[in-house]
Amino acid sequence: MSTKRIIVIGGSAAGPKAASKARRMDENAEISIYQKASDLSMASCGYPYYIGGFFDDRSQLLCSPAGVVRDSKFFWNAKKITTKVLTEVTKIDRENKCIEFTDLTTGETGIAEYDKLVIATGATPRRPPVPGIELEGITTLQSLSDADYLRKIRDERKIKKAVVIGGGLIGIETCEALQLAGIEITLVELLPQLLTFLDKQMARLVEKYVKTKANVILQNGVASFLGENGKLTAVKLQDGTEIPCELAVIAVGVIPNTKLAKEAGLTLGNTGGIVVDEFMQTSDPDIYAVGDCIQIPNLITHQPVHAPYGDLANLQGRVAGENVIVGNVAKFPGTIQTGICKVFDYGVGSTGLSEQNALKMGFSDIETVVNASLDKPGFMHGNLLITKLIVDKQSGLILGAQVLGPGDVSKQVAIWAMAIKGKLTVDDMVNADLPYAPPFSLAIDHSIATAHIMQNKLKGYFTGISAEQFKEKLNKKDTMLLLDVRNPDEYEQMRLGVGEKLIPLGQLRKRVEELPQDKNIEIITWCKISLRGYEAALILQANGYTNVKVLEGGIMAWPWAREK
């Protein structure tokens, strides 16, 4: 039996994973990686934290778990994989099953034959076609050289003002990295909100928090970059505003690198990515593709999506690496698009569908709740979590969840991700058997409490009103009784300041007569997180009031200014 020849194009995340898995499946295969950049197997998701000074040893971005730098010598000695760095693959010849390549150092060209080929060419940052974009001081954050450039700026401490363009994951993480260097940051986003995977209320909560660390400008794009002597001096926005700065970081998304695939005649999808099946196989049975250059199905909507996440790239690489050796036995079914990012001292994450995307994709009969509570008891210094849960109203099937706050967001998002992947319902979650001890969780975990609120809502025990719905009623000056049921000292420290009446929960039964006699009047109740608000609503309903709603998440989930 002849030795299999496996060629991988791309040496960042998915490519080396595919090559390494292939080696584990076959000790005798000839495996080569062709990498246009000078480095291999870079931990690109760690770039913002290297820039921000969370660690100082650059080589940690390139190290194996054992602390060995994953360079060409490492790949040969540890894995018997040949790597050709600073080498660009210029053509895939499917008919002759070979690739053409150019050594970027010497200019020499060559041809290499394959039995199976893996394309892992990644994605390229979008760069808006505006005047001045070539000025010195304008960068993206996609490559290790970008990270080196920004880390040098951090270490030199000369730049005072920077503009970050794009309010997505990379933009937000870059804000923190540069702000930690003492740079004044202005974050510019063309859309009406940050982090578009969030619904509006949750995004506003993030925006409110980010504004404590940086300037935030929404619904405004870049018209041009201004400079003197070839160096950036300001960013001019579409409304004419000029923001003086010495640095601009463009973080407005990425485009799949599909030029090689397209020229080779492989099928591309409507997202711009290479079309692959569950085996990571392209339209050519001898060519597989993985990572940021492909499109994959969303497991909830069954629609193709471009999901450029580092964890998915590694999972896909593992599947392709097995299949190029032993045939199509391993599968990657798709994504529910789970993600998380660090926003200064907050975590912000989501999984599944947002409410706005669920409606867009035809899930018309949905229900949502917002829950605010601690991640563990106050005596264990618990921190706030705010969760929005989206479910199918009839079946109770969990469609999506968004979580933010200084608490343990990662754990919560992981719980909901597995619930969605496992097709669990709200009824499955209300008695979930999760680990409990005070250092780690409340006795009823935040996720289970969120499911309880949703179950109460679906059963009709609880009628909630979202912050956005309440704000709309306030703007329209609807006739309502607004009832804050916290204690007087809490009320004095902070309140919504929207004309509410204070009646502490412990006094409500005795003071019901103070309320209007019209039992049909709309009453909105709340407290800090609306647990007491819910109990107040039940008391009012027991006293004949028929139109009582609870402000979901209470004061802590209110995304607008509060009165102090």
Q: Over 379-434, what HEC string results?
A: HHCCCEEEEEEEEECCCCEEEEEEEEECCCHHHHHHHHHHHHHCCCEHHHHCCCCC
116 contacts: CB under 8 Å, gap ≥ 6: 4, 5, 6, 7, 286, 287, 288, 324
5-123+255-326 shares its CATH topology with 138-252: yes
Q: Give domain limits for the chain.
A: 5-123+255-326, 138-252, 339-459, 464-557
Taking only the tens of pLDDT, the chain with its 564 residues reads: 579 999 999 999 999 999 999 999 999 999 999 999 999 999 999 999 999 999 999 999 999 888 899 999 999 999 999 999 999 999 999 999 999 999 999 999 999 999 999 999 999 999 999 999 999 999 999 999 999 999 999 999 999 999 999 999 999 999 999 999 999 999 999 999 999 999 999 999 999 999 999 999 999 999 999 999 999 999 999 999 999 999 999 999 999 999 999 999 999 999 999 999 999 999 999 999 999 999 999 999 999 999 999 999 999 999 999 999 999 999 999 999 999 999 999 999 999 999 999 999 999 999 999 999 999 999 999 999 999 999 999 999 999 999 999 999 999 999 999 999 999 999 999 999 999 999 999 999 999 999 999 999 999 999 999 999 999 999 999 999 999 999 999 999 999 999 999 999 999 999 999 999 999 999 999 999 999 999 999 999 999 999 999 999 999 999 999 988
Tell me what pLDDT residue 505 has.
98
* DSSP line for 453-483: HHHHHHHTS--EE-HHHHHHHHHTT---EEE
Identify which of 465, 456, 462, 467 has the alpha carbon closest to the alpha carbon of residue 534: 462
Which one of 1.20.1050.90, 1.10.10.10, 3.30.390.10, 3.50.50.60 gives the CATH number of domain 5-123+255-326?
3.50.50.60
> Residue with structure tokens 């591309």?
268
Written in H, E and C, the secondary structure of 357-370 is HHHHCCCCCEEEEE
The set of residues, in sequence order, having a beta carbon less than 8 Å from that of 528 and lying 6+ positions away, is 372, 486, 490, 554, 555, 556
pLDDT for the residue 564: 80
Residue 218, helix vs strand vs coil: strand
In whole angstroms, what is the distance from residue 377 CA to residue 453 CA? Answer: 19
Type and span of the H or E element at 339: strand 339-343
Region of 405 (left: φ > 0; alpha: ψ -120 to 50; beta: rest) is left
Which architecture, in CATH terms, is 464-557? 3-Layer(aba) Sandwich (3.40)
Query: And the tokens for 483?
Result: 């009832």
The encoded tokens of residue 552 equal 């979901």
Rounded-to-integer distance, Cα 2 and Cα 113, Å:
14
* Whole-number Cα distances in Å, 381 to 189, 324, 438: 35, 50, 10
Is this model's pTM higher than 0.85 or not?
Answer: yes
The closest alpha carbon to 483, from 437, 534, 420, 438, belongs to 534
Under CATH, domain 138-252 is a member of which superfamily?
FAD/NAD(P)-binding domain (3.50.50.60)
Tokens found for residue 492: 């004095």
138 in Cβ contact with 128 (< 8 Å): no
What are 351's two structure tokens?
A: 């999984």
DSSP strands (E only) in 257-303: 274-275, 287-289, 294-297
- Which overall architecture, per CATH, does domain 339-459 show? 3-Layer(bba) Sandwich (3.50)
Q: What is the pLDDT of residue 2?
A: 74
Which residue, 139, 121, 149, 125, is CA-closest to 58? Answer: 149
Bridge partner list, 340: 349
Q: Please state whether beta strands 5-9 and 116-119 pair in parallel, antiparallel, or not at all (unpaired).
A: parallel
SS3 content of the chain, % helix, strand, coil (to 5): 30, 30, 40
How far is Cα 153 from Cα 147, in angstroms, rounded to an integer?
10
Strands 184-189 and 161-165: parallel
What is the predicted pLDDT for the residue at 550? Answer: 98
Count of CA atoms in the C-beta half-sphere (13 A) of 525: 27
